[in-house]
Amino acid sequence: MDFPLRGCLNYLSRHFIDSESKNDWVQRMQNLSISCSLVCCILLGASAVVGSFGIIQRQISAVLITGVMYILAATFGLFCLSIMHFKRKTKKDCGVLDSHVTPEYSSARIFQTGWSLELGWGGVVTCLMAALLWLLLARIMRYNPISLS
């Protein structure tokens, strides 16, 4: 596999930050990933409020909306993880320790993901399971007229 770029790029170095040569796509992908993460957090916070209102007041529509909001949170979490994956696959950069490595060895680098990626996928699966449970609760509430009072 031949890389068109010889050497490593460190996007956090002082020289690279001060210069205007920073790639816009790196900044855009980072901003998109942060935006998707923020949308996930907003959706999960709003679904906690709407879901508790739906359970306390026995509102079937609020419970249904909570299920849909969990599906949306899982979708945006999937977008965030996909953006992070493709950013990592296309970016070739190095840290402070790799600054003395010659360019012919930089093509042999292997990127390994850490625990945060596994936690992200776990969060997406958890959101999907919670969405199914909320939608099942809405169905039970619709066809089971047991009152709690």
- Give per-residue pLDDT as tens, 34-49: 999 999 999 999 999 9
**114 domain residue, yes or no:** no
What pLDDT, on a 0 to 100 scale, did the predictor assign at position 97? 46
- Structural domain total, the chain: 1
**71 domain residue, yes or no:** yes
Q: Is the pLDDT of residue 129 over 90?
A: yes
d(C-alpha 69, C-alpha 112), whole Å: 32
Q: Is the pLDDT of residue 11 over 70?
A: no
Spatial contact of 12 and 22, defined as CB atoms under 8 Å apart: no
d(C-alpha 77, C-alpha 117), whole Å: 11
Sign of CA dihedral 12, 13, 18, 19: negative
**108 domain residue, yes or no:** no
**64 domain residue, yes or no:** yes
**103 domain residue, yes or no:** no
Of 19-28, 54-63, 74-83, 104-113, minimum mean pLDDT range: 19-28
- The range of the structural domain enclosing residue 28 comes to 24-88+120-149
